Structure 1
Amino acid sequence: MEIIYSAAARLGGVGIANVVNHAVNAIYRAGYLKKVIVYGNSQGAVPTSLIKNVWFQPTKVFSSLSSRYYYSMKRMWLDYNASRYIKGHGCHIFHGWTHECLRSAREAKKQGAITIVERGYCHPLYSKRVLDEEYERWGLKRHPEGRIILKKYDHWHREETAALEEFEEADYVFVPAQFAKDTFLEYGFPEQKIVIIPRAADMDYYRPSEKKKDIFRAVFVGMLNIRKGIPYLLEAWRQLNLMDAELMLVGSVHDEIKSFLQRYKGVKNIRITGFVKNPVELYNSASVFVFPTLDEGSAKVTYEAMACGLPVITTPNAGSLVTDGIDGYLVNIRDVEAMKEKILFLYNNPDAGKEMGRQARLNIEPYTWQRYEQNLIAKYEEIWERQ
């Protein structure tokens, strides 16, 4: 079995690039890697002979463009290069990522290969519906009108066109959680084509440490924006008005949320830290992790918080591994009252919170990167044997 894996990421990088790195290393160790096609390499386990580095606009011609165009151009350029490589070399399985593999998947199918598209989020039409509702609710524009001349590169246009075409072309779509799968089913996608491969966390790095018994602290980690449900968390916290308590918001502040933060400026026990590269100490300073997101795939911060022994309050939409009432709570999106109730319970019952945190660590421990890699290879082998 020969696999070509393509991703608009730096092999050995962070974020999605870390997922890519674990996948590619697993494929290489299994002896299945024919070529990985990426934007750069900062790891040493996979030999350079198996890595095709793609160069994108070395003279920085497009750098001044809005990210909605720039990153689409970058993904499309990777797709073009991957399709050319596949045309000349072929493979048994091609694995690409959403928004960046339409041409390459089509070329792989021409050559008789099995095609996989990875989608780290919900179905694009589900995301569009939920977020359109949310922005309208707050009287905001989700994104400004695009430039007609650049329409084919517009990320939001491609979400409703190229992404859907990729799913139709694919033999399989890989998603990270049941909730993401459910959104595909909601839009009529064939269940037999959807494969769940749960993500992971570094259990040695993200681990519980002794918590200072100073105050009750709720922590959120992630981009501070509309999609993450920040307005609802702010309102829940304001209404609770807890003594000896703090809400810590950890992450970059998006322009769209600044007016909301201004409204809650008078709430003195809200702290905004900005982006923190390694938030493990902040997790371990907290009593509870709160993540009221509206739209995710499988939020890695929920894995990290559970690994640090925190009870987690989140929504089903987070695609988390939280078991309601055991290691945290699941509340519906936009439900301020339910969020308040769960935070207040943990505030009033610290021993229950500690027990939930202990369960969180136990329940998340199996979800190591080794397990992710084993699941991925097992799925490739299962798919290949079916042919």
Structure 2
Amino acid sequence: MLGALYTDATESVLNNWMGRTVEKMWDGRLARLRARSLPAIIPGNKVHSYPRYTAQKKLVDLVRSDSLAERNYRYRLGSHGLAQQLIRDDFAGCNALYVHACNGTEAIEEAQRRGLFVVLEAVSMPYHKYIEREEYKRHDRVFPDPDEEIKRNISFFRDEALMADLVVAASTHVENGLHELGVSPSHTAVVPYGIERGFYDRSPSPEPGRILFVGHVNYLKGVPYLAKAARILESREVDCNVRVVGGYDDGLIERPEFAGPSYVGAVPRSQVKDEFLRADVFVFPTLSDGFGIVLAEAAAAGLPIVSTPNCGDVVEDEHNGFVVPTRDPEALANRIQRLVENRRLRSEMSLAAHDRFCEHFTIQKYKENLAAAIRSRYERTR
């Protein structure tokens, strides 16, 4: 179905554009960009890469402090510059546009004028910044994002979603947010993400009581509630170790609300896989997450999962794990303790987790679901 792929940078383009002479100067962020190699299945002649738009945006970020959403749209910076390039190229002759939310308002507007079929991908819940702001308030901290910036981003999100013929949501949580925006249920479809069936090259070797969280350490991911759960488990003398794997801002884990777990920090991808394979239980207490690909990675490793409802629909409560309310450390601690101490239950949920992964959260299943959602909506509108 792919006619053309427009992006800012891939590994080959970055190497040509920046040259090998600056290799030693690249920081971690640029190193991650260099790792953005495309799957071999995508023909090179379909890829249109323009790193200059992102470079221009980064330069402006250094000298301007006005509203990012409004500024990027007005001056065609970053993805908005890429959208203008797409328009100049007449959409590469394609009859449909697939674009991420808040990345190409003008391309969506022009595509609609030309009669193209427009699919918008909603990676995150539209109101997640409000949820995060509330969490900062609960912990007597000042939220860094201005209210006007949050409102403007939601405004872009709403305008684009209402213009699109189809909005693809990563989870039911995201879809509910789209309906709150005013998007008709007939215009939305939930298409969960997936990973390769052979994601792991060896079998799991779980260590009893090894509790794992993987993700950036912050308030939105619910880490303070996991920390409180860890303290509860310690007070009950439950034989377990809560490990938090992921990067964090300086000083954050020194705050009292984060005390309890063992903070591993950011580690190479290969080591993250090892963490999954050695874990006993996976915990994801997020307050709002579009999907959380780590949920699929945990299920693929046969891990029982304790999560909230505000993320990907990977967990069936009491089947392959437990779904607990957000901001409920007591419920988190109870479910973790139950899995650690009931080895038969843990074993049953482990098998159920792997089976659910194979049935619903592989790349192949994602491909089938996405194609079916697009074709179904296209046939109803054309």
TM-score, structure 1 length as denominator? 0.80
> Cα–Cα, structure 1 residues 209 and 160, in superposed 2: closer, same or farther, change >3 Å?
same
1:56 positional shift = 1.6
* Residue 251 of structure 2 corresponds to residue 249 of structure 1: no
Alpha-carbon separation, structure 2, partners of 1:374 and 1:65:
45
Higher helix share: 2
Paired residue secondary structure (1:56): helix
1:78 positional shift = 1.5
Paired residue secondary structure (1:247): strand
The residue that corresponds to 1:128 in the other structure is 129
**Residue type matched to 1:373 in 2?**
K
1:55 positional shift = 2.9
Kept in 2, the 8 Å contact 1:3–1:95? The answer is: no
* Residue 84 of structure 2 corresponds to residue 80 of structure 1: yes
Q: Cα deviations across residues 323-364 of structure 1 (Å, max 9, x unaligned)?
A: 000100000100111111101111211221121011100111
Q: Cα deviations across residues 29-86 of structure 1 (Å, max 9, x unaligned)?
A: xxxxxxxxxx986444322322222232558734646999499531222122122223
**Residue type matched to 1:77 in 2?**
G
The residue that corresponds to 1:322 in the other structure is 315
Kept in 2, the 8 Å contact 1:216–1:245? The answer is: yes
Once the two structures are superposed, the pairs formed by residues 281-292 of structure 1 within 5 Å of their partners are 281-292=274-285
The residue that corresponds to 1:301 in the other structure is 294
1:300 positional shift = 0.3
Paired residue secondary structure (1:318): coil
Once the two structures are superposed, the pairs formed by residues 176-187 of structure 1 within 5 Å of their partners are 176-187=170-181
The residue that corresponds to 1:274 in the other structure is 266
The residue that corresponds to 2:25 in the other structure is none
Q: Cα deviations across residues 166-213 of structure 1 (Å, max 9, x unaligned)?
A: 112211111111221122223432111111112101221237724254
> Cα–Cα, structure 1 residues 256 and 201, in superposed 2: closer, same or farther, change >3 Å?
farther
> Cα–Cα, structure 1 residues 43 and 206, in superposed 2: closer, same or farther, change >3 Å?
closer
Q: Cα deviations across residues 269-310 of structure 1 (Å, max 9, x unaligned)?
A: 624243342312111111100010011111100010011000
Further displaced range: 292-301 or 56-65: 56-65
1:258 positional shift = 3.0
**Residue type matched to 1:233 in 2?**
L
Paired residue secondary structure (2:45): helix
1:10 positional shift = 4.1
**Residue type matched to 1:56 in 2?**
R
Could you tell me which runs of 5 or more consecutive residues in structure 2 were left unpaired when the two chains were aligned: 14-34
Alpha-carbon separation, structure 1, partners of 2:64 and 2:186:
38
Alpha-carbon separation, structure 2, partners of 1:40 and 1:137:
38
Paired residue secondary structure (1:231): helix
How many matched pairs?
Answer: 348
The residue that corresponds to 1:113 in the other structure is 116
**Residue type matched to 1:159 in 2?**
N
The residue that corresponds to 1:55 in the other structure is 51
Alpha-carbon separation, structure 2, partners of 1:299 and 1:121:
10
Alpha-carbon separation, structure 2, partners of 1:188 and 1:174:
15
**Residue type matched to 1:249 in 2?**
V
Alpha-carbon separation, structure 2, partners of 1:139 and 1:191:
37
**Residue type matched to 2:283 in 1?**
V
Q: Cα deviations across residues 235-286 of structure 1 (Å, max 9, x unaligned)?
A: 111111135421110000134733436862xx5x624243342312111111
> Cα–Cα, structure 1 residues 94 and 248, in superposed 2: closer, same or farther, change >3 Å?
same
The residue that corresponds to 1:175 in the other structure is 169
Alpha-carbon separation, structure 1, partners of 2:142 and 2:64:
16
Alpha-carbon separation, structure 2, partners of 1:275 and 1:260:
22
Paired residue secondary structure (2:352): helix
1:5 positional shift = 5.1
Kept in 1, the 8 Å contact 2:284–2:308? The answer is: yes
* Residue 358 of structure 2 corresponds to residue 365 of structure 1: yes
Alpha-carbon separation, structure 1, partners of 2:311 and 2:174:
9
Alpha-carbon separation, structure 1, partners of 2:78 and 2:197:
33
1:318 positional shift = 1.5
Once the two structures are superposed, the pairs formed by residues 145-184 of structure 1 within 5 Å of their partners are 145=146, 156=150, 158-184=152-178
1:160 positional shift = 2.3
Alpha-carbon separation, structure 1, partners of 2:349 and 2:40:
39
The residue that corresponds to 1:191 in the other structure is 185
Q: Cα deviations across residues 100-153 of structure 1 (Å, max 9, x unaligned)?
A: 12111111111111111111111x2x323322221111111221559xxxx8xx
* Residue 339 of structure 2 corresponds to residue 346 of structure 1: yes
1:93 positional shift = 1.1
> Cα–Cα, structure 1 residues 263 and 186, in superposed 2: closer, same or farther, change >3 Å?
closer
> Cα–Cα, structure 1 residues 292 and 170, in superposed 2: closer, same or farther, change >3 Å?
same
The residue that corresponds to 1:379 in the other structure is 373
Alpha-carbon separation, structure 2, partners of 1:53 and 1:77:
12
Kept in 2, the 8 Å contact 1:101–1:117? The answer is: no
Alpha-carbon separation, structure 2, partners of 1:319 and 1:117:
18
The residue that corresponds to 1:16 in the other structure is none
Alpha-carbon separation, structure 2, partners of 1:365 and 1:281:
20
Identity fraction in percent = 26
Alpha-carbon separation, structure 1, partners of 2:103 and 2:364:
26
1:311 positional shift = 0.2
1:372 positional shift = 1.3
TM-score, structure 2 length as denominator? 0.81
Paired residue secondary structure (1:325): coil
